[in-house]
Amino acid sequence: MGSSRGPCSVLLCILVGFCAFYPSSATDFTAQLFVNATKDSTTTIPDTLFGIFFEEINHAGAGGLWAELVDNRGFEAGGQATPSDIAPWFILGDETLLVLSTDRSSCFEHNKVALRMEVFCDSKGPIICPAEGVGVYNPGFWGMNIEQGMNYKLILYLRSYNPINVSASLTDSTGSQTLATVKIIASSVSNWTRMEFLFAAEATNPNSRLQLTTTQSGVIWFDQVSLMPVDTYKGRGFRNDLFKMLADIKPAFLRFPGGCFIEGNRLPNAVRWKDTIGPWEERPGHYGDVWDYWTDDGLGHLEFLQLAEDLGALPIWVFNNAISLHGEVNTSIILPFIHEILDGLEFAKGDASSTWGSVRASLGHPEPFDLRYVAIGNEECQMKSYRGNYLRFYDAIKHFYPDIQIISNCDGSSQKLDHPADMYDYHIYTDANTMFSKYHAFDYSARDGPKAFVSEYAVTKKEDAGTGSLLAALAEAGFLLGLERNSDIVEMASYAPLFVNTHDRRWNPDAIVFNSAQVYGTPSYWMQQFFVESNGASLLNSTLQASSTTSVLASAIIWKNTDDAEYYLRLKFVNFGSGTVSLKITINGVKINTKSSTVTTLTSNNVLDENSFDKPAKVAPVKAPLTADVDADGKGMVVTLSQHSLTSIDVLTYPDSLYAGTS
């Protein structure tokens, strides 16, 4: 994402045939689609075409995919100078009974700030503590989701000169209902001591908090207080429901961890991979000053590589190349930045005996990761130092890792790049009509240069997209059909942003919306499911004939279903107009069998309809058996496309008729 520079490029919309005409009149139309499935007229879509882009924006990771429930677990978010803001930790009891402050007494070198809790009341003597105790609570990221019967692991570090008697509890948001509680009782903790407890929740509340309370006077220091659900994806720390949303769109690649997140407004706030690996307690965390929130960096470099591996996706590491949104390091003094990145590549790819590969192995992943792509910076083509810095990174990486594909920030779709690159980055945020017309964006791009990586696309105009409308999804589907058609030069594409926590909407719209306990996909998320089978499929030559006022786009692929090992013909249609279209389809070169054929439709009554927590599937794909009249010879059919719809028709082919030649 780019926060201050706007979309990277504006291309000419070349209006041939079926550019956008929204809204159009409610007349019905007829159209014809000719599909040529003979062998010579098919091409193969890259295996990598559709994937995902994860940026730490909108609390996508911290308070999102990363399942840590405590926000500001190390008390570092308020900065290193003390006194510091400890929010969202808050006081339980009043200041006559206890004082909460921070000092720099932690046992962790890189995050020295710790919480000091001094309690004046006691169970006896002049000031009696309230029965429920006094202390501190943390509501997590707008409430912790605690579920009955599930287990939660509490790890914390503490120290006190006196014996301690502390209750750790999970409660509702007011502290009146207790969902689980454990006793922390110890007599000699004068040195920092790590403690671990398991909570078994006895009730469910999506808006819970963690409390640490006592009825005993004295001073206790706390640091690195973590609460994780035991049940995360493969125990890796990824929130199950959010991981599933990603797995369901079978992403071919994972671009990470940003976006502007990797740049920072100011360079000291850019993410540095070495600060994000190793024991979580020892990670310093950092303030993401572009999207304006602190992250403890539990989701670090290793976790991203692991996430890609778990998703069966190829990792694409976007790194900082000594340029931030508001500052650049002169090319003559960037060598340390280059070393940092070479170390990061060795961490990912080096064998377990190499310096950084051995660090990876010691963290539990002896096998190298399949890292084949890196992007040098994000949206920085116009920056003064970009080319200079880029070339130094490029040369160094190609020297040590000649096989790594390097992605440039400069757009090569309309003119040749003035520097070497394996791919170029292309970002587009626009209105719905323009997006639909971008079906043609790559029609006239050079065929001999580096390939395109459309790493960020979305309809963002507020009136069109809202917080995720059907209209936006249809326009994007039109754009993606164009990418399929131009997939000889478009290698990869991903929607942006991927996630939004509804409590921190920095950017609208987004593909996946969640809070502590719920999740739904926007129409743009569901739209991507129509393209899941495209990676590695055969693209057929298809020709649509319609009047120029029809806003229909189509594509045809043949894909192999790994479940039944059958080949299916998938026809996709976007009807961007407000009239129904009767479409006659003629297929040459393959015979179709309508047995077990389906039609899947994404549409709604109103083109601006959106999903919500209450109605998560208001605009979602509906799958039904195909009822169209298929010609007796299995070579054609007539279907009706409803207004404002994305449709996919999956028909079984007779395998022996596949690519049988013209007949």
Ligand X SMILES: *[C@@H]1O[C@H](CO)[C@@H](O)[C@H](O)[C@H]1NC(C)=O
**Quick one: which segment of 33-41, 58-66, 368-376, 562-570 binds ligand X (CB under 6 A)?**
33-41
φ, ψ (nearest 5 deg) of residue 119: -105, 130
Torsion over CA of 66, 61, 194 and 123, rounded to 10 degrees?
Answer: -100
Mask: binding to ligand X, 303-332, rule CB under 6 A, as x and -? ---------------------------x-x
Q: Is 543 in the site for ligand X (CB under 6 A)?
A: yes
Q: How many residues form the binding site for ligand X (CB under 6 A)?
A: 18
Distance separating alpha carbons of residues 20 and 124, to the nearest angstrom: 77
The token duo for 306 is 């692991």
Q: Is 615 in the site for ligand X (CB under 6 A)?
A: no
**Given candidates 3, 35, 36, 649, which one binds ligand X under the rule CB under 6 A?**
36
How far apart, in Å, are the Cα atoms of 136 and each of 84, 86, 267?
15, 10, 34
Q: Is 41 in the site for ligand X (CB under 6 A)?
A: yes
Spell out the residues 6+ positions from residue 483 whose beta carbon is closer than 8 angstroms to its own.
49, 442, 454, 490, 493
φ, ψ (nearest 5 deg) of residue 316: -125, 110
**Given candidates 191, 235, 614, 632, which one binds ligand X under the rule CB under 6 A?**
191
Distance separating alpha carbons of residues 266 and 56, to the nearest angstrom: 16
Asked if 469 and 523 touch (Cβ cutoff 8 Å), the reply is yes
**Minimum gap (Å) between residue 573 Cβ and ligand X:** 18
SS3 576: coil
**Minimum gap (Å) between residue 235 Cβ and ligand X:** 32
**Given candidates 176, 190, 353, 562, which one binds ligand X under the rule CB under 6 A?**
190
Taking alpha carbons only, the member of 80, 111, 138, 65 closest to residue 280 is 111
| For ligand X, the closer CB: 447 or 462 | 447
**Given candidates 58, 102, 171, 215, which one binds ligand X under the rule CB under 6 A?**
215
Task: Give the strand pairing for 405-408 and 636-641.
Answer: unpaired
| For ligand X, the closer CB: 37 or 583 | 37
Q: Is 40 in the site for ligand X (CB under 6 A)?
A: yes
**Minimum gap (Å) between residue 119 Cβ and ligand X:** 12
**Location of structure tokens 């993606």:** 480
**Minimum gap (Å) between residue 662 Cβ and ligand X:** 5
**Minimum gap (Å) between residue 166 Cβ and ligand X:** 9
| For ligand X, the closer CB: 170 or 371 | 170
Q: Please, which contacts does 87-92 make with residues 24 or more away whose CB atoms are closer than 8 Å? A: 88/138, 88/139, 88/140, 89/115, 89/136, 89/137, 89/138, 90/136, 90/137, 90/138, 90/139, 91/136, 92/133, 92/134, 92/135, 92/136, 92/137, 92/175, 92/211, 92/213
Q: Is 562 in the site for ligand X (CB under 6 A)?
A: no
Q: Is 662 in the site for ligand X (CB under 6 A)?
A: yes
Q: Is 335 in the site for ligand X (CB under 6 A)?
A: no
| For ligand X, the closer CB: 355 or 543 | 543
Distance separating alpha carbons of residues 572 and 256, to the nearest angstrom: 30
Q: Residue 259: is the preceding peptide bond cis (ω within 30°)?
A: yes
Spell out the residues 6+ positions from residue 448 whose beta carbon is closer than 8 angstroms to its own.
none
Q: Which residues, 420 to 479, sit near ligand X by CB under 6 A?
A: none
SS3 164: strand
Mask: binding to ligand X, 498-537, rule CB under 6 A, as x and -? ----------------------------------------
Sign of the dihedral through C-alpha 293, 295, 300, 306: negative
Q: Is 588 in the site for ligand X (CB under 6 A)?
A: yes
**Minimum gap (Å) between residue 425 Cβ and ligand X:** 21
**Quick one: which segment of 32-40, 79-87, 144-152, 395-403 binds ligand X (CB under 6 A)?**
32-40
Mask: binding to ligand X, 106-145, rule CB under 6 A, as x and -? ----------------------------------------
Q: Is 188 in the site for ligand X (CB under 6 A)?
A: yes
**Binding interface with ligand X (CB under 6 A):** 36, 38, 40-41, 165, 185, 188, 190-191, 215, 330, 332, 384-385, 541, 543, 588, 662
